[in-house]
Amino acid sequence: MAKNYKYSFKLYSSWNYENELEDLNKYSERGWQLVKDGMFHRKFVKNENIRYRYQMDFRRIEDKGRYIETFREQGWEYVDSNFNVCHFFRKIYDPSLPEEEYEIFTDRESLHEMNNRWARIAFVACIFFGIMALLPGIKMIKTPSVFLLLNFITNMVVFIVLLRGFLIMRNPESKKNRRDDSIFITVFLAAVILGASGSIFLTIKRPNFQGEWISASDEVSIDNDHFVDFEVNYPDNYYLDLGIVSKKPITFKVVNENGESVYNITDSNFHEDDIRLNLKKGRYYFSMTCETSYHLSYELH
């Protein structure tokens, strides 16, 4: 027995919503009628006895009942809402009626207001993601790393796409001749998901710890003492904040699993932040040599 429902997982951009409406109309012509519109999917039921034309309104509403009734009085049947922002309506299609009968907004001012509502949200989102891209971008100048680069690229991609949408919605006439950008949105969404997942992975796997060591007495004799083991899960630039206070110079080292020193300093009064360590994947440890009392503080990030 044939199923009486089906799903569509095609992605659409808010600034090119006409493409979604055109597809909904084509589905209806083939006997599939919309019953549920989600962020990433649509659900249809089979009904070949009727054909609809669909339209969408974009606004946040408080009195949903009155809002739906207003459109019902104009001949539009309410179908579904997406996050109480995108609202879908439909009207039974009669090919003998002019196309203007199926326009949900009959005046340019109302359509312009709907586009502006979306554009305002996109503008605020542009500012947010622009700042989120700018912060790691600035930090990368001083402390370059794969983690910061991935954050910068991911937020910049979102910023560019939202800016594109904002500019289109500010000039809606320009989008009438644009091609369907579903593939573009799919690639964009995949890039955001991969970028966000990558950032989470790099954050979890990145060594990040701090501590301090203070001698118990003035009579100290330490020769290449091995302490603080840590593991690097992916090659990158890592940064060490190091502080040394002692009566005589002490030697501090960062040593890899082969016993090779990748960083060392000998000093009695030293403090420096963001010491760049270009570390490969593997295990490392700190080593210290001293003959006097000391106060050692460190943070790896």
Q: Per-residue pLDDT tens for 93-148? A: 998 888 888 888 766 676 677 778 888 888 999 999 999 999 999 999 989 999 99
Of 11, 3, 1, give the one whose Cα is nearest residue 186. Answer: 11
**Same domain as 294, residue 243:** yes
**Same domain as 279, residue 254:** yes
pLDDT at 172 (0 to 100): 63
Cβ burial, residue 210 (10 Å; 0-12/13-18/19+): exposed
Tell me the two tokens of residue 12: 């659409």
pTM of the model: 0.73
Task: State which of 177, 205, 233 marks the end of a domain.
Answer: 205
Tell me the two tokens of residue 128: 């947010």
Tell me the two tokens of residue 195: 């970028």
Amino acid (one-letter) located at 207: P
pLDDT at 61 (0 to 100): 85
Q: In whole angstroms, what separates CA 107 from the centre of its chain?
A: 36
Q: How far apart are CA 13 and CA 86, in angstroms?
A: 12
Tell me the two tokens of residue 66: 């009155």
Residue with more model confidence, 12 or 258: 258
Of 92, 72, 91, 80, give the one whose Cα is nearest residue 38. Answer: 80
pLDDT at 240 (0 to 100): 97
**Same domain as 218, residue 186:** no
Evaluate if residue 43 carries a pLDDT over 90. yes
Residue with more model confidence, 132 or 11: 132
pLDDT at 99 (0 to 100): 85
**Same domain as 230, residue 274:** yes
Three-state secondary-structure class, residue 286? strand
Per the structure, the count of domains in the chain is 3
**Same domain as 192, residue 161:** yes
Amino acid (one-letter) located at 231: E
**Same domain as 195, residue 115:** yes
pLDDT at 297 (0 to 100): 95
Q: How confident is the model at residue 184 (pLDDT cuts 50, 70, 90)?
A: confident
pLDDT at 58 (0 to 100): 84
Evaluate if residue 261 carries a pLDDT over 70. yes
**Residue 219 neighbours by CB under 8 Å, 6+ apart:** none
**Same domain as 99, residue 11:** yes
| Percent share of the chain, pLDDT over 70 | 92
The average pLDDT across 55-71 equals 88
Helix residue ranges per DSSP H, the chain: 17-29, 64-73, 108-142, 146-170, 182-205
Of 179, 182, 137, 131, give the one whose Cα is nearest residue 158. Answer: 131
Tokens 């593991």 found at? 231
The average pLDDT across 254-274 equals 95
Q: How far apart are CA 160 and CA 162, in angstroms?
A: 6
pLDDT at 159 (0 to 100): 93
- Domain at 269, CATH number: 2.60.120.380
Evaluate if residue 47 carries a pLDDT over 60. yes
Residue with more model confidence, 256 or 223: 256
**Same domain as 123, residue 179:** yes
**Same domain as 197, residue 167:** yes
Task: State which of 104, 129, 146 marks the end of a domain.
Answer: 104
Q: How confident is the model at residue 1 (pLDDT cuts 50, 70, 90)?
A: very low
pLDDT at 219 (0 to 100): 64
Evaluate if residue 175 carries a pLDDT over 60. no
**Same domain as 269, residue 236:** yes
Task: State which of 205, 223, 245 marks the end of a domain.
Answer: 205
pLDDT at 55 (0 to 100): 93
Q: How far apart are CA 58 and CA 72, in angstroms?
A: 17
pLDDT at 49 (0 to 100): 92
Contact assessment for residue 118 and residue 104, using Cβ atoms and an 8 Å cutoff: no
The CB density around residue 195, as the number of other CB atoms within 10 Å, is 19
**Same domain as 219, residue 200:** no
Q: How far apart are CA 66 and CA 81, in angstroms?
A: 15
**Same domain as 68, residue 130:** no
Task: Tell me the residue range of the domain where 137 lies.
Answer: 109-205
The CB density around residue 65, as the number of other CB atoms within 10 Å, is 8
Of 238, 290, 230, 283, give the one whose Cα is nearest residue 266. Answer: 290
The CB density around residue 263, as the number of other CB atoms within 10 Å, is 17
